[in-house]
Amino acid sequence: MALLRRPEAGAVIGTVVVFAFFVGFAGGKGFLGFQGVGNWLGNAAEIGIGALAVGVLIIAGEFDLSMGSVLAVGALTVGLCTGYYHWPLWASIALALALGVIIGLFNGLIVVRTGLHSFLVTLATQFLLYGAMLGFARLLTGQTTLIVTFTGAARVLFAGTWDYFPAEVAWWLGLTALVTWVLSKTVFGNWIYATGGNLRTARMAGVKTAQVKISCFVFTAVASVLVGIIETAQTSTVSVEQGQLYEFEVIIAAVVGGVLMTGGYGSAIGVLFGSLTYGIADLGIFYTGWNTDWFQAFLGGLLLVAVLSNSWLRRKMLSTR
């Protein structure tokens, strides 16, 4: 019973069930081979990096619907600066990350200074960034797709592979370990839970709630830029269309991972398993040989089951205290 009280309990159970399902239907079709495992782990990592950041933000009581456009901003910055204007690659990467910090600060400051709901603020940012990217790309280059090649240490760091396992898996696991430590072992982690759990009470207790929220918005933006850089390194192609629906995918992974939409509850380990479940389901259908059009229906059902089970586990935990 003690294990069921943990935020990641439902996510772990869900991952085991989904994994067993696809092992049964696709285990002999490459799903369990080194390349197959590397593929769905890489897919999970790409979702997982953003899901980890937005999961922390949701725990703090806010949302970020601009992550897809921010991902594209990171990719387009590198593609434009290095692929078109021939900047040094590391300078482009540094600029992209700096823009991520600026966008996160922009979202966070507007939310805490105006009191507007982050859903509306970041939705506006999503459209603002997409329109600006489209306009600047056409103005400066006359096109919306750019080519840029990562070489040397940058390619190893962002697009390297080790026995079919992509570098993004290491980024994902490393960030999960770091966030787990922050949430469970630091005062700032306690502030995040307190801010999302009860904002008024947190303020009365001396928690710097504005600082917490702004920091979490910066984290989601920088994580999105990082994913954009990783995607660019892997494909050598940048498009303003990049990252569409990413913001919804990462929120789904976070919720499947046990993060409550009401804030104040969740864990980095749970989000890791939620992302793993998403990655397995996304590519698992491909390995079964079934029509991949069914993935959206499968994902919708998975999300509904996750929300219901997380709600049940949460009530069960509270009733046994």
pLDDT in tens, 90-102: 999 999 999 999 9
- Domains annotated for the chain, with CATH where assigned, are 3-314 (1.10.3470)
Helix (H) or strand (E) holding 237: strand 237-239
pLDDT digit string (tens) for 138-171?
998 888 889 999 999 999 999 998 888 899 999 9
Beta pairing class for 145-147 and 161-162: unpaired
pLDDT digit string (tens) for 235-281?
999 988 888 889 999 998 998 898 988 899 899 999 999 999 889 88
pLDDT of residue 3: 58
Q: Round to whole Å and give the CA distance between 60 and 45.
A: 23
Instruction: List CB contacts of 248: < 8 A, sequence separation 6 or more.
Output: none
Percent of the chain with pLDDT over 70: 93
Instruction: Compute, in degrees rounded to 10, the torsion defined by CA atoms 58, 302, 175, 94.
Output: -80
Q: What predicted TM-score, i.e. pTM, was given to this entire model? A: 0.93
Supply the DSSP symbol for 286.
H
Percent of the chain with pLDDT over 90: 64
pLDDT of residue 1: 53
Highest mean pLDDT: which range of 36-40, 179-183, 239-243, 292-296 = 179-183
